[in-house]
Structure 1
Amino acid sequence: MRVVQVPVGATVFRWLGLAGVLLVTLSTLADGADQFGVRTDAVLGWLTEGAAAPLAVAVSGMGLVVLAWLRLARFLAELSAGWLRGTLALWGAPLLVAPPLFSGDVHSYLAQGEVAARGLNPATVSPLDGLGAAHELTGNVSSYWQDTASPYGPVFGTIQRLIAELTDGSVLSGVLAHRVVAVAGLVLIVWAVPKLAARAGVSVPGALWLGVLNPLVLWHFIAGIHNDALMLGLALAGVALALSGIGERIAPLPLCGGVVLIALAVNVKLPAAVGLAVVGVALARHFGATFGRFVLAGLAMCASLALITLAVAFSSGLGFHLFTQLSVSGEVNSWMAPTNWVGFLVGAIGMLFGANITQPAIEVGKLIGMVVAVAGIGKVLVDQLRGRYASVTSLGALLAVVVVFGPVVQPWYILWAAVPLAACLAPGKWRNTVIGVVAVFSVILPPLGGNFADKIGELVLGYAVAIAVLAVATVLSRPRKVAV
């Protein structure tokens, strides 16, 4: 076996990234002591006083991870897929013991699971109605979502209920159990990305670097515990498996197995449905790429989804409510969503004249975005049918359309598109755009929660220190010319 010599620079940046992750973990352990019932004041007392110190440490750590990740790109030609997977494990390990970061969605998962464990349906009964305002799990849920039913499918609802039953209401055990589920989704992603990259003719180390080692994966799939990890893992594994069954001849077992995995992903979160569209078009191309075959393949995918969804919904006892809560995530106006920007601008102008038109303007923007998204999805699928897009490229493009023109954008939503795009984009403008978006969204929000409205000075100071630390690290890590 040939031993590949890892460049010294790559090893240095691997450890720099670990140092950044440790800083993030240190700062969030100080901030999240109460969530885990562990007192860290004695060791981290200097870090828990005020908001500036933990914020500066956290954002400095985030910046160092992004810097290390970007610098590793220089060595991709000399790095193996195994080394990159090992780096992901190394960077992700400390975050396994960190409190939930960036959002409190996992507390909604816990409350919804407890609702299900009581024999109620979380798709129709909110934590407030099912548990009561005085329950600890309800109190941990953001006030925006306490009176909102679950928007997730029955596959995830079943997982939530099982975790609630096994952990008996323990917040610590429940958080850790949901983190295990998210990591399982990430394992599926790590398995699927190389297979999709090989199909698309893209470098596997490059795809792993951009698709799974990127900081957004660390922050939101491991530390943030979002069920998007499970959705994306099932969907990508399903697409990779199904496409392997569509070659010169149809291999029914991998094709059907892949369709089942994608359907299960849809029953976690709906955006995974585009995976079925990609497989359906690939199937239509196999049989001649005619419009009639396109329609038949589409109907076959819809029928498969309906049958699997009904089977899961009723076997779980949670019923068929997958499509009844689609508007839940859009109830809070997302400032990151491009479809809302015009509405915010028009609303600000209206306020100058005493007119309160922000919400109507945002609703118009969302409607236009939905129309554009439908048209964009249709265009991508037709291009795939005609051979202009390969299957993996079509998957990435479809998810990009869903994210960009959707009513809500969260940093972890970027991964819906970034991961499959990493597996199909060759070096160039579009790949660099994805890298830039990932880098920006990796530092745009600090991991520590809290209201800084009355702590603007501490907020500015924390970021100023972090920027200074990152500036020094950037200068010190620049490639240097060696005199000849």
Structure 2
Amino acid sequence: MRRGDQPRWLGFCGSALLATATVAGSLGTPRWFTGSAALPLAVGVGGMGLVVLAWALLGRLVLASGDIAPGPRALRSTFLLWAAPLLVVPPLFSGDAHSYLAQGEIAARGLDPYAVGPNEGLGAAAKLTQSVSGYWRDAPSPYGPLFSGIQRLIAQLAGEQQAAAILLHRLIALAGVALLLWAVPRLAARAGVSAGVPLWLGVLNPLVLWHFVAGVHNDALMLGLMAAGTAIALSAVDETVQWWRLSLGVVVIALGADVKVPAVVALAVVGTALARRMGGRLWHLVLAGGAMVAAVAVVSAVVSAITGLGFGWLGTLGTSSQLNSWMAPTNWLGFLGGGIGSLFGLHLTQPTIGAGRIIGYAVIVCGLAVLIHRQLRGRIGDLQALGLMFAVVVVFGPVVQPWYLLWAVVPLAVCLPACRARTVLIGLVGVFAVLLPPLGGEAGELVLGYLGGLLILAVAAFAAHRSQPFRLAGPEPSRELQETRSARG
């Protein structure tokens, strides 16, 4: 068995274990397996840990480079192998997919998804409404007109078959992942690096498997369109500006923004790259930036007109920020202030969170301005600017979810050299991959589930350590060194 095959099949076993646990947990059978939520949760967490371990072991081979490193084709096939068991599971790690179904049904009934939530549009007793998290039952859709049109089409095609609707949404997410698999090697070529590390860190990582394949998040389509459009657009401003290719890339990025608005960050990078190609002066930046704004406005107007959904989505872009995300650093001061205030009978949580968010927005504006200036002057590359811009938006934004990290990971995976920053990024991916459990449960069940998962992972890690192929997963010594060692022996 080749060295790359051990982590490859270990990851498949972990993915299959996760899928088995979650399917059994959702079906409620057999009794011996699902008598307590802690048992399927432990098996699921153990499967997650095996995938993360396999990803790390595969990374040793990829980062080692040379003859032992798997190539892009092997990495793509490994991704397909790991993703295969997750294609049959119910949506994991969050209930956003159920919100997609409810919003699509609202639009299919001829109602405005940007004006009513599931409670009002479908009725509080409706099955679709009951499956939506209580946080969002009264909230209108926060997504762009392209995705709302897709939601409506899926609702019309699937009818009352929720399983079929989930499958169609998963196919949309997989289309986004396919765009990533197409775009990342082309972005790597532009950065002058081989595609191995970018594919391993940017696409093959557990966050993509958990939240794009299993979780069915529309961020997959947004990020896929953004990456593909960026690859096309930046290739058009290398030496001489190829206007048709640039226009195509800008349109594709704008379509990504019509799924979720953060994709517009890529237009800032493309506009700055165009301004630098035009001469790099301030008025070039203003001209190119105005063209990007006009392009996204025209594309959004066309999509809104074609779908017939209008421009109500412009008023609901902040819907997601209604949730006080515990992962968002801008909310931490509010939680701290609220806790201290409660000791004195004061209600300070929301006012303090509001102040923290204002500070966060100010930091985002200033941070983006600094990065655009540095990119315009050629002090940082286009892809580095894109990754850092997304990092600023995520860290200082009002809401942080584990899959938001991928907005920055994909471009940074392409451009970061072998340095401490890349090591930190790899560590963050590993940590964020295990932050959320695949299944819900009471506090005690979650604790027992994670302890059981750690036990499964410890056994697998011990077996991997004892395995000769894993222990020799680093670079092989050269033939000359082997001959020297043999002579000394």
Structure 1 length as normaliser, TM-score? 0.94
Q: Name the aligned partner's letter for residue 464 of structure 1.
A: L
Aligned length: 466
Q: What's 2:39 paired with?
A: 53
8 Å CA contact 2:91–2:97 kept in 1: the answer is yes
1:20 aligned to which of 7, 14, 20 = 14
For residue 287 of structure 1, report the CA deviation from its aligned partner: 0.6
Q: Measure, in 1, the Cα distance between the counterparts of 2:314 and 2:83.
A: 34
Q: Measure, in 1, the Cα distance between the counterparts of 2:136 and 2:315.
A: 16
Q: What's 2:450 paired with?
A: 463
Q: Measure, in 2, the Cα distance between the counterparts of 1:333 and 1:202.
A: 40
Q: Measure, in 2, the Cα distance between the counterparts of 1:303 and 1:444.
A: 40
Q: Name the aligned partner's letter for residue 13 of structure 2.
A: A
Q: Measure, in 2, the Cα distance between the counterparts of 1:188 and 1:236.
A: 8
Matches within 5 A, 1:205-216: 205-216=196-207
For residue 141 of structure 1, report the CA deviation from its aligned partner: 0.9
For residue 321 of structure 1, report the CA deviation from its aligned partner: 2.5
2:52 aligned to which of 26, 43, 66 = 66
Q: What's 2:328 paired with?
A: 337
| 1:200-247 superposed Cα distances (whole Å, 9 cap, x missing partner) | 123310000000000000000000000000000001100000111112
Matches within 5 A, 1:242-253: 242-253=233-244
For residue 449 of structure 1, report the CA deviation from its aligned partner: 2.3
Q: Name the aligned partner's letter for residue 464 of structure 2.
A: S
Greater mean alpha carbon deviation, residues 470-479 or residues 109-118: 470-479
8 Å CA contact 2:253–2:264 kept in 1: the answer is yes
**Cα RMSD over matched residues?**
1.5
For residue 169 of structure 1, report the CA deviation from its aligned partner: 2.4
Matched, 1:92 2:83: yes
Q: Measure, in 2, the Cα distance between the counterparts of 1:323 and 1:359.
A: 24
For residue 137 of structure 1, report the CA deviation from its aligned partner: 1.1
Matches within 5 A, 1:223-262: 223-262=214-253
Q: Measure, in 2, the Cα distance between the counterparts of 1:206 and 1:396.
A: 16
| 1:400-422 superposed Cα distances (whole Å, 9 cap, x missing partner) | 11100000000111111111111
Q: Measure, in 2, the Cα distance between the counterparts of 1:124 and 1:118.
A: 13
For residue 471 of structure 1, report the CA deviation from its aligned partner: 2.2
8 Å CA contact 1:267–1:322 kept in 2: the answer is no
Matched, 1:475 2:475: no
Q: Name the aligned partner's letter for residue 37 of structure 2.
A: A
Matches within 5 A, 1:60-459: 60-76=46-62, 77=65, 78-450=69-441, 452-453=442-443, 456=444, 458-459=445-446
Q: Measure, in 2, the Cα distance between the counterparts of 1:322 and 1:98.
A: 31
SS in 2 for 1:426: coil
Q: Measure, in 2, the Cα distance between the counterparts of 1:391 and 1:423.
A: 11
For residue 121 of structure 1, report the CA deviation from its aligned partner: 1.5
Q: Measure, in 2, the Cα distance between the counterparts of 1:407 and 1:58.
A: 30
8 Å CA contact 2:272–2:289 kept in 1: the answer is yes
| 1:244-299 superposed Cα distances (whole Å, 9 cap, x missing partner) | 11121111221111000001011100100011111100100111000010000000
Q: Measure, in 2, the Cα distance between the counterparts of 1:121 and 1:236.
A: 30
* Unmatched runs of 5 consecutive residues or more in structure 1: 1-6, 34-39
State the identity as a percent.
55
SS in 2 for 1:326: coil
SS in 1 for 2:317: coil
Q: What's 2:481 paired with?
A: none
For residue 358 of structure 1, report the CA deviation from its aligned partner: 1.4
Q: Measure, in 2, the Cα distance between the counterparts of 1:214 and 1:301.
A: 32
8 Å CA contact 1:28–1:98 kept in 2: the answer is yes
Structure 2 length as normaliser, TM-score? 0.93
For residue 75 of structure 1, report the CA deviation from its aligned partner: 1.0
8 Å CA contact 1:274–1:399 kept in 2: the answer is yes
Q: Name the aligned partner's letter for residue 360 of structure 1.
A: P
For residue 16 of structure 1, report the CA deviation from its aligned partner: 0.5
SS in 1 for 2:314: coil
Q: Measure, in 1, the Cα distance between the counterparts of 2:191 and 2:312.
A: 36
8 Å CA contact 1:313–1:320 kept in 2: the answer is yes
Q: Measure, in 2, the Cα distance between the counterparts of 1:346 and 1:125.
A: 33
8 Å CA contact 1:114–1:169 kept in 2: the answer is no
Q: What's 1:31 paired with?
A: 25
Q: Measure, in 2, the Cα distance between the counterparts of 1:395 and 1:202.
A: 17
* Unmatched runs of 5 consecutive residues or more in structure 2: 477-484
